[in-house]
Amino acid sequence: MTFKTISSAALAAVLATAGVMTAGAQHITGAGASFPNPIYSKWFAEYSASHPGVQINYQSVGSGAGIRQVSEKTVDFGASDGPMTDEQLAASKQKLVHIPTVLGAVVPVYNIPGAAKELRFSPDVIADIYLGKITKWNDPRIVKDNPGISLPDHGILPVYRSDGSGTTYIFTDYLSKVSPDFQKKIGKSTSVKWPLGIGQKGNEGVAGMVHNSAYSFGYVELIYALQNKMEYGFVKNSSGKWLKASVEGVTAAAAADAKGMPADYRVSITNAPGNDSYPIASFTWLLIPQHFDDAAKGKVMVDFLNWMLTKGEGEVSALSYAPLPKAVAASVAKTIKTIQ
């Protein structure tokens, strides 16, 4: 009796699940960078809402995962804040196109209870905090950049990304440019070997840890700092000017470097020249297969990308990302046409 009920329940469950496996609708799955996740999740929610029957599921699992999973063809598209390297492109199981979507800034965030706002961090100080050479908040070099601000005699807890991360790529790319020591000891990549600190998963994780831990220091995308009302510092740019991250600063950095934009869009704009260029800025890319195995998916993807260039780009400033410079957007529109 009891056994029959159980087994018939199990059977019903099998049948039900088999039934739903055949349900329709166009599902597209993407995964990757958490840096643009706030704007992507908004885009995909809006696009899906205005296009019934289409669901674009984006999981913010880190740029490294975006690169690896789209190369393995386990997701339909990837996303990364660090452009793929030549080796990574060669190792991929399908030909991929980089489509720049927005520009963003990485900001140094900190949590010092009771301390004055608006701290300044020169590039070498940031590098040396992560190298373990500056360990206290009242280190003379931090004090020198912040005259008149009393800093506590407390250890600094550097927080970094434990997952493969494009934010880490941008950050280490920048620090490698400004600190030869950093380049030699750590280097740039989506995952690096940090000599100290604690690791957290995703921009969300780092922001969460800094948010919840006194005397910590971390790096996150600007929007994460803004949405959580976290303190983030000024950074000295290549012209020696102190800048707080802003849409304008990122746009200026993009403009300064846009002339040198290569055809495949793989460009680094950290430490860009120019008076108003915020130094830790970057494009972020969608990694789209040149040729979709499923033509219907390819069509939806192309339609989405066009929607993004026209409608989507208008919404990015509200979330403190910078839209693509006009020249770049025009050439991206051409690239989209080549995707099948």
Partner 1 sequence: MNEPNLISLPPTPVAQSVSPENPTGAPDLPPPAPSAIRKFLNSKSSGRVPDGAFRGLMFVCALSIFLIVLLILFVLISSSKLSIHTFGFKFFTGTTWDPVSGDFGALPFIYGTVVSSLLAVAMAVPLALLVAIFLLEICPQFLRGPISFLTELLAAIPSVVYGLWGVFVLVPIIRDQAGPVLEKYLGWTGFFVEPNFGVGMFAASVILAIMIFPVISSISRDVMRVVPPSQREAALALGATRWEMIRISILRNSRIGIVGSVILGLGRALGETLAVTMVIGNHPDIMKNLFAPAYTLSSVIANEFTEATGDLYLSALIEIGLALFLVTIVVNAIARLLVWAVTRNNSAVAH
Partner 2 sequence: MNPLLVRSENTERMLNLRRKISNHLVTALAVVATLVVLVPLIAILGYLLYKGFSSLNLAFFTKPPAPVGEEGGGMANAIVGSGVILALASAMGIPLGIGAGVYLAEYGRGTWLATAIRFTADVLNGVPSIVMGIAAYSLIVAKQHHFSGFAGGVALAIMMVPTITRTTEEMLGTVPQMVREAALGLGIPKWRTVISISLRTASPGIITGCMLAFARVAGETAPLLFTALGNQFFGVNLNQPMAALPLQIFAYAVSPYDEWHRLAWAGALVLIVMIMVSVTLVRIFTARGALKGGQH
Residues engaged in binding partner 1 (CB under 8 A): 31, 61-69, 71, 87-88, 91, 154-155, 157, 162-164, 186-194, 196-201, 208-209, 212-216
Is residue 112 near partner 2 by the rule CB under 8 A? Answer: no
Kindly tell me which residue out of 230, 255, 302, 339 binds partner 2, with binding defined by CB under 8 A. 230
Say how many CA atoms lie within 13 Å of 34 toward its Cβ. Answer: 25
Q: Determine if 304 is a binding residue for partner 2 (CB under 8 A).
A: no
* Long-range pairs, 37-40, Cβ under 8 A, ≥24: 37/203, 37/204, 38/223, 38/224, 38/227, 38/319, 39/101, 39/102, 39/223, 39/315, 39/316, 39/319, 39/321, 40/79, 40/101
Q: Which does 320 bind (CB under 5 to 8 A by kind): partner 2, partner 1, none?
A: none
Min dist. Cβ of residue 334 to partner 1 (A): 29
* C-beta of residue 81 within 8 angstroms of C-beta of residue 282: yes
Estimate to the nearest angstrom the gap between the alpha carbon of 125 and the chain centroid: 23
User: Which is nearer to partner 1, 113 or 260 (by Cβ)?
Assistant: 113
> Can residue 232 be called a binding residue for partner 2 (CB under 8 A)?
no
Task: Indicate whether 207 belongs to the interface with partner 2 (CB under 8 A).
Answer: yes
95 lies in the binding site for partner 2 (CB under 8 A): no
Neighbours of 90 (CB within 10 A): 8
193 binds, among partner 2, partner 1, none (CB under 5 to 8 A by kind): partner 1
Q: Which residues pair with 31 in a beta bridge?
A: 59, 78
Can residue 3 be called a binding residue for partner 2 (CB under 8 A)?
yes
- Distance between CA atoms of 134 and 191, rounded to whole angstroms? 22
Sign of CA dihedral 149, 152, 155, 158: negative
Q: Output the smallest distance, CB 153 to partner 1, in A.
A: 11
Query: Among residues 45 and 196, whose Cβ is nearest to partner 2?
Result: 45
Quick one: which of 8, 45, 144, 296 contacts partner 2 (CB under 8 A)? 45
Residue 114, interface with partner 2 (CB under 8 A)? no
Which amino acid is located at 234 in the chain? F
- The interface partner of residue 190, options being partner 1, partner 2, none and the CB cut-off 5 to 8 Å by kind, is partner 1
Which residues of this chain interact with partner 2, rule CB under 8 A?
1-3, 5-7, 10-11, 13-14, 16-17, 20-21, 23, 25, 27, 29, 31, 37-38, 41-42, 44-45, 48, 55, 57-61, 72-75, 200-202, 204-205, 207-208, 210-211, 223-224, 227-228, 230, 319
